[in-house]
Structure 1
């Protein structure tokens, strides 16, 4: 709930049971004004009774009843103005007329009705004032020389009793409507800001999740292949050490080289991650702009510093050194591609070879690359595993194929994987050429 909405609800809770008044102070104000108006009309009713020959109590009661009508000015402002107009000939209800016209002009009553009632009040006041002034001035000997005085004074008095309350009421009504419009606009803006904040938090959380997924995929690609080869060489080292010490030495050297390469790639990746914009440790929230810039910077740097397609031959050589029978064939003329295309192609071949080491040790493997007009295709296929070869015992998290598919589909490519009729496994991917580097 918005702050303004909560305030209105609290205000409404405090004003229940007060009729048509919105606030308790409105009740006090209207009752006080009604008492003053009733007292005024009662006093003026004494003179009215003397002028008309009615009993004084009748004039007082009539004045009290007429003046008390002011208590309903907020609910029925038209009725209050009509009573004030009706009592104008009796020269009573001046306070009721002023406040009634002000309330009428400030209310939501159509302006045509306000104008009509103002005209009636002006006319009644003008007539009564004119008659009273004419009678008063007629008693003076020089009345004939100043015949313009009565209508002019009547006009001024009538305007003074009708125009100011109406103008002030129009101003207050316009100001009230403006404030209400501003409150509604503030409520709307607050709701929009709350919605935008929720969406921003969702987008920030999505960006953080995507970044964590991408980092996990990169770590998997970098570590899994090297460590898999190290495990294979370690197993071979254990097997040949008693029989062929020279070969054991070579395998140990290969294990050391691969470990150093894995550490080098890990350091490069961590350096790329650190090069992004720093995020304060322990922060409860990360601004969306910072998350977006950091993710974009890390992704761009990782793509620029990552492996290239021409390094696939070295990758195949490492697998051959680990004892795998691998054939590499390249169709078409090699050319440079966008960094993210080359890196994705390299990672697909790398992960496919890693899976062969894990799940099909000793199987013959074919790696095919095809450079076409608007795309580059790669395929890694292995035959059935040699049953006589012991399994390397490498753990599998089940993320290899998922990561490859995400990479390829993220660039708008096609990814297919599955078993072959010969009992092996095939991984195929086609990546569009996104422009030469």
Structure 2
């Protein structure tokens, strides 16, 4: 994994303007060599200028030492090298100064201007010196040699360091651009990973909520009926043994059905654990998609497409009637097939509403209405006030039934309304789009 942009910036450990001690040592060494060169070249300069040799040596040392500031002020180094060119001094300083100038971040027009000045100065000095040598008889070549030697010398001193510096500067800028791009990509990947974790957490929470809702719908209704039948069995055990036997058989049947549904649900959860373990091995950037896919697969496996349907409402109402509830079913419109999730949601709403009647209004007469409309299906479960003498099974309530019904209906884009009636009963209504 790449590091961040801040980690790419080297820690400043060198003195003054140097980032590292190694750079300071290198510049100091170059300045020492340049000062030594200029000091040696200062001797013939002093003799030609008619000044003391010591003054020429000191001048050469001072001029050559300017190379130590090449990283801080490259323009000053190049200007000094141009200024001492007539004295035929500072060739190392000219080469290193041009290289540093070309590799810096200065505008190209400044680099081109100073390089041109250095080229012209070197050409003039070389031209004058070669012409003097030719005139004094030291060189006996033709007239073509003077301009040729001047151009070759000036280009040889100026062009190579300039081109090398431009290449190094361009490469440095390219590396910085690539590093910044890599840092940007890393930040984007980190952001995507954080979002993927959030999506995975959201998917896990949604899956936990869905499983809790399924468990509630699958178990609560049948267990509630079992408790009602057990209470009735206790009441008639001595008075009507035959009815007690029938109630006991119903309790056994409902218990077996509840156990079967619990086993199916636990089987789905157990198989989902293996899927979750496999998906933990995927890269972090794919966690969100994998979690969403796992939730979708778990929803399919848990019976969303194979759950109860509207054709089983008669059996559901028959079970409530067998538990002593006076319940009637009325259907409006022409019955037709809906999407499995729509039929399952409608069935669960009616089932949970009947369970609530068993819990809170035992013995109350209940009306179940189902309406098939053009683009939607509507259902309503309304119970009358329970009779005062009605026995209560004292069923516990977790308060999640209405919440679960509303979540189911809202997830399909439907409308859910529940509340007490003016007559003292309770009404649950839901409208679900047909598609």
Aligned to 1:308: 309
Deviation at 1:263, TM superposition (A): 1.7
Paired residue secondary structure (2:395): coil
Matched, 1:318 2:314: no
Give the Cα separation in 2 of the matches to 1:81 and 1:91: 15
Deviation at 1:282, TM superposition (A): 12
More displaced stretch, 38-47 vs 317-326: 38-47
More displaced stretch, 84-93 vs 108-117: 108-117
Paired residue secondary structure (1:427): strand
Which of residues 127, 132, 140 is equivalent to 1:130? 127
Preserved contact between residue 279 and residue 290 of structure 2 (Cα < 8 Å)? no
Aligned to 1:229: 225
Matched, 1:31 2:19: no
Preserved contact between residue 363 and residue 387 of structure 2 (Cα < 8 Å)? yes
Give the Cα separation in 1 of the matches to 2:382 and 2:291: 39
Matches within 5 A, 1:76-87: 76-87=73-84
Give the Cα separation in 1 of the matches to 2:173 and 2:34: 28
Give the Cα separation in 1 of the matches to 2:198 and 2:422: 46
Paired residue secondary structure (2:367): strand
Deviations 1:357-406 (A, max 9, x none): 11111111100000011100000001112222232121111110000000
Deviation at 1:4, TM superposition (A): 3.1
Matches within 5 A, 1:109-148: 109-140=106-137, 143=140, 146-148=142-144
Aligned to 2:161: 165
Deviation at 1:195, TM superposition (A): 0.8
Deviation at 1:310, TM superposition (A): 1.3
Matched, 1:189 2:185: yes
Deviation at 1:20, TM superposition (A): 2.1
Preserved contact between residue 46 and residue 55 of structure 2 (Cα < 8 Å)? yes
Give the Cα separation in 1 of the matches to 2:125 and 2:32: 25
Deviation at 1:311, TM superposition (A): 0.8
Paired residue secondary structure (1:431): strand
Aligned to 1:155: 151
Aligned to 2:344: 343
Deviation at 1:42, TM superposition (A): 1.0
Aligned to 1:62: 59
Matches within 5 A, 1:204-243: 204-243=200-239
Q: Structure 1 residues 8, 18: CA separation in 2 closer, same or farther (over 3 Å shift)? A: farther
Tell me the matched-pair count.
430
TM-score using structure 2 length: 0.95
Q: Structure 1 residues 164, 174: CA separation in 2 closer, same or farther (over 3 Å shift)? A: same
Aligned to 1:18: 15
Aligned to 2:408: 407
Give the Cα separation in 1 of the matches to 2:281 and 2:162: 57
TM-score using structure 1 length: 0.94
Q: Structure 1 residues 332, 142: CA separation in 2 closer, same or farther (over 3 Å shift)? A: closer
Which of residues 172, 175, 178 is equivalent to 2:174? 178
Deviation at 1:7, TM superposition (A): 2.2
Q: Structure 1 residues 258, 154: CA separation in 2 closer, same or farther (over 3 Å shift)? A: same
Unaligned 5+ residue runs, structure 2? none
Give the Cα separation in 1 of the matches to 2:128 and 2:6: 56
More displaced stretch, 222-231 vs 259-268: 259-268
Paired residue secondary structure (1:354): helix
C-alpha root-mean-square deviation of aligned residues, in Å? 2.0
Deviation at 1:140, TM superposition (A): 3.1
Aligned to 2:399: 398
Paired residue secondary structure (1:369): strand
Which of residues 50, 54, 71 is equivalent to 2:68? 71
Aligned to 1:88: 85
Deviations 1:110-130 (A, max 9, x none): 111111111111111111111
Paired residue secondary structure (2:225): helix
Unaligned 5+ residue runs, structure 1? none
Which of residues 246, 250, 262 is equivalent to 1:250? 246
Give the Cα separation in 1 of the matches to 2:210 and 2:138: 108
Aligned to 1:354: 355
Aligned to 1:50: 47
Deviation at 1:141, TM superposition (A): 8.2
Give the Cα separation in 2 of the matches to 1:209 and 1:62: 81
Q: Structure 1 residues 125, 142: CA separation in 2 closer, same or farther (over 3 Å shift)? A: closer
Give the Cα separation in 2 of the matches to 1:300 and 1:110: 65
Give the Cα separation in 1 of the matches to 2:6 and 2:89: 45
Aligned to 2:97: 100
Paired residue secondary structure (2:275): coil
